[in-house]
A = this chain, B = another copy of it.
Amino acid sequence: MKTRDRILAAALELFNQQGERKVTTNHIAAHLEMSPGNLYYHFKNKQEIIFELFLSYEERVDANLQVPTDRLLTIEDKLNYLQKVFQGLWEFRFIHRDMEHLLLGEERLHSRYREFFRRCQKNTEAIYFGLREANIIEISDRDLEGLALNTWIVVTSWFSFLQCNLLSDPEESITLEMLKAGIYQIFQLERPYLSDEYRASANAMQQAFIPKPDWL
């Protein structure tokens, strides 16, 4: 792997593990047994690294939220979206966790992130429109917008929530159970809008994500 890519990979790994604030550029270099000078040969500063990682994340999410134009959405699609989104969320979990301060004084990243959010909203709404068209949910336009926004908030806050409220030891890591619970919560948001026709099968699907009684 190219040095540049190794730096990105190491930065991502360390950021996810410890949070961006705790990971210094020297730390990243040391992790790769490389000099700081070398790191700065490839990236002009730390923000540059973060920006590139964000671009990867963005590309990935955009790809994950496409709506097929040649067919109606199915209930399996819905599950699929969720799983892909949560997978991406996990692999780049430092992003939403540290967003507040990643954006501090970073106009370029901030405006890019705002556009990213709007695009995601549009895509999420498109997915819900698709589900409505396929008669899987019944929902008014206005409610759909509100639902899409709440979905965004819960999805993007899920790992922060886990970190702050559930993990006692920073060494303790997030379990599969906790990840599943996130998907369960999104199902929960959509559930009231399920059509009679699909209620049973959607509920059956959600069963697999019920967290254990004591997970919280």
Contact = CB atoms under 8 A, between A and B. Distances in A.
A150 B22 contact: no
A190 B120 CA distance: 24
A150 B189 contact: yes
A147 B192 CA distance: 11
Interface string A173-202: 000000000001100110111000000000
Given A100-B98, A105-B170, A113 B146 contact: no
Given A146-B184, A165-B113, A165-B117, A19 B104 contact: yes
A40 interface: no
B100 A185 contact: no
Interface centre among A22, A118, A150, A184 (most CB of B within 10 A): A150
A62 interface: no
Interface of A: 19, 21-22, 97-101, 103-105, 110-111, 113-114, 117-118, 121, 143, 146-147, 149-150, 153-154, 156-158, 160-161, 163-166, 168, 170, 184-185, 188-189, 191-193, 216
